[in-house]
Amino acid sequence: MSQSPGEFKPSRRDVLRPVEYVGGAAIAAVFTGVVVLFTTRDLTLTLIIAGIAFIAVLVVLALLAMAMKPNADETAEIDGTDDPGDADPGDRGGPGSAH
């Protein structure tokens, strides 16, 4: 299957980025679970706290990822241009534009 010249193909790093977030949240959840298990010796409480830690860390990582400023390649993709150098900041209707 061939791609057209204008079709965007994400890099391997972009494809694996969600796996990094889930893996980081899982590591934090396991660490939290181990600490709670050694402290309370209650498996039910450990699973509940580990689940809460997993969800909380995953949400925080997702929010931080959304807060990052897009780089030139992402901006070019949003603008619909092929070359990051083709993106003209004045075309988006920002401050100082005539639109």
The model's pLDDT over 59-74, given as tens digits with 9 standing for 90+, comes to 999 999 888 877 777 7
Residue type, 60: V
Given a cut of 80, whether residue 95 has pLDDT beyond it is no
Burial 56-81 (b: 16+ CB within 10 A, else e): ebbeebeeeeeeeeeeeeeebeeeee
- Look up residue 12 and give its amino acid: R
CA angle 31–66–98, rounded 5-degree value: 170
The average confidence (pLDDT) of the chain is 82
Is the pLDDT reported for residue 99 higher than 80? no
Band of the pLDDT at 6, cuts 50, 70, 90? low
Contact (Cβ atoms closer than 8 angstroms) between residue 87 and residue 79? yes
